[in-house]
Amino acid sequence: MGDYNRLTVHRREMLRTSAVAAAATLFVESADAYPKSVNTNSGPSKLKITDLRIANVVKPGPSPCPIIRIDTDQGVYGLGEVRDGASATYALFLKSRLLGEDPLQLDKLFRKIKQFGGHARQGGGVCAVEMALWDIAGKVYNAPVYAMVGGGKFRDKIRIYADTEESKDPKVYAQRMKERKEVMGVTWLKMDLGIEMVADTPGTVTNATNLNQWEMNQLPHLLGTQWEWKFRSPWIIWAISV
C-alpha cells in the first residue's frame, strides 16, 4: 500500500510539473506574439469612469447642440453628441449608471443603458454615451474606431448635405439655399416643409375633434402628439410625397 501511495504522488508531481512547463511555454509564445505598438500610456484593465459633463454648442441649424464628455481616472476622456436639439437630460440621467464602470466594457455598458433610449431624439443620450466610450477606446488602444468595430477604411472624404431652415417666404427660403451652395459650397441640399408653413392659412389643416386626452398628449408621432392633422391642401400632399 505504501509503494502504491508513493507511486500516486510521484505521478501527480509529474503532471503538475508538466502543466507548469506547458503554461510557461504558452506565456512566452503569447508575449512574443503580442503587438509591440500598443499604447501603454494608460492601464486599460484599470480604467474607471469618474465624471460625465455637458457643454452646449451653438451652431447653424438645430441648436444648441449638447456635447458630452466622459472622464476617467487616468485622464483619458471621450466626446459624444446628443442628437440635434435634444435635451442634455437624456445623457445626464445616465451618469449615475456609468460612474465607476470600465469604459472599455462597451457592450456591457450599452446593454445597461439602452433601455433608457428611444426613437429619434429620445435616443440622443444613449447614442452620445456610446460615441464617447468608443472615443475613449480609440485613444487607449491607439486605433481608429472604424478598425475596432470591424471595418476597414472605405474613403478619405464623404459628401454631406445641409439642412435649410424653414421660411414662409419663398424668396427667403431660396436665398438661404443659395447661400448654402455658393458660400458654404454644399451641393446636396435638404428642405424642411412642415405643416406650420401653411397652418395659419384658413381651411388648410384642421385637427380632429374625437381625440381623447391620451391621444392628444402621448402619441409619439407629430401627427398625434397634440393634434391629429387632416390635410386639405394639394401643396402639402405634394410636398410630403416628394
SS (H, E, C) the chain: CHHHHHHHHHHHHHHHHHHHHHHHHHHHHHHHHCCCCCCCCCCHHHCCEEEEEEEEECCCCCCCEEEEEEEECCCCEEEEECCCCCCCHHHHCCHHHCCCCCCCCHHHHHHHHHHHCCCHHHHHHHHHHHHHHHHHHHHHHCCCHHHHCCCCCCCCCCCCCEEECCCCCHHHHHHHHHHHHHCCCCCCEEECCCHHHCCCCCCCEEECCCCCHHHHHCCCCHHHHCCCEEECCHHHHHHHHC
Residue 118's pLDDT is what? Answer: 83
Residue 100's pLDDT is what? Answer: 93
Distance separating alpha carbons of residues 193 and 176, to the nearest angstrom: 14
Q: Which residue has the cell 392659412?
A: 201
End-to-end CA distance of the chain, in Å?
Answer: 93
Distance separating alpha carbons of residues 128 and 121, to the nearest angstrom: 11
Q: What is the mean pLDDT of each run of 10 residues along the chain (242 residues)?
A: 50 55 47 50 76 87 85 93 85 93 94 88 91 94 86 82 82 89 88 77 73 66 39 38 34
Residue 58's pLDDT is what? Answer: 83
Class of 44-148 per CATH?
A: alpha beta
Residue 137's pLDDT is what? Answer: 93
Residue 224's pLDDT is what? Answer: 35
Q: Alpha carbon 107 to chain centroid distance?
A: 13
pTM: 0.60
Residue 10's pLDDT is what? Answer: 55
Residues 6+ apart with CB under 8 A from 62: 84, 85, 163
